[in-house]
Structure 1
Amino acid sequence: MTIRYEWRSDFDNTALNALHADGFGHPIAQTDWREQVENHSLGWVCAWEEDSLIGFVNVAWDGGVHAFLLDTVVSRHYRSRGVGAALVATAAHEARAAKCEWLHVDFEEHLRSFYFNACGFKETTAGLIAL
């Protein structure tokens, strides 16, 4: 298995919608991911095996020193192989290269070990308002 990780990689909305549905267990949507990331993100990382999109993470930012991980997703068939951690590591590398000083992420409790142990995030105090 040779997987390549590409920063700001070209991708097809149909493929990312299918990956998102597979990874998050919901019906396939018709989200225009290209417009979203091109207009609101520092960048994104795609994981590819040959021509198949098997992983993705969006790196949003505040235009300054804070970057934020969103929509980290790996195809169910490629989980527990280090793909997610490599996506996050690539995102962190590129955010650092863009002079960001902080990389934030929020997540559901079942992903705690992934983000803290596999990716190196540290626990912080944060707040959230459900809108």
Structure 2
Amino acid sequence: MGRVRPVTYTWRGAFTDAEVEALHAEGFGHPPTGSAWWARVNRHSLGWVCARAEGRLVGFVNVAWDGASHAFVLDTVVSSAGRRRGLGTGLVAAAVEGARAGGCEWIHVDFEDHLSGFYLESCGFTPTGAGLIKL
């Protein structure tokens, strides 16, 4: 497994759709869909964080918001070579700082049970009750 340090984290960093699509497909285990990531985040998001090592995109997180005080962490993904090395924690920390600088008072995250240690212990989120409807 290759080394992926040093890593730089950039709030609202530049990326190509192909870069994020490949990383997302790898991280979430689906074939690339050809999504227009750049247009989507520029239209709907407060910001996003790109993690790069030697110029290569190794992590990404999207920060959606309500246009006021609430931000939402979405699509946190790290390349397979970068996992369990602190990249995800760095991504979320940069997302929290970006949301704070953007004037938000709260940042929310939804996650599957197996990710609770990451979000609650490593990233410092507090557990809350939430609801979900699959559409």
Q: TM-score, normalised by structure 1?
A: 0.98
Report deviation, 1:50: 1.4
Partner of 2:102: 98
Deviation, 1:128, is 1.3
Unaligned runs of 5+ in 1: none
1:48 offset after TM fit, Å? Answer: 0.1
1:52 equivalent in structure 2: 56
Tell me the equivalent position of 2:121: 117
What percentage of residue pairs aligned between the two structures are identical?
57
2: distance between equivalents of 1:88 and 1:58? 9
Matched residue type, 2:36: D
Structure 2 unaligned regions, length at least 5:
none
RMSD: 0.6
**DSSP 3-state at the match of 1:71:** strand
Amino acid at match of 1:2: P
**Size of the alignment, in residue pairs?**
131
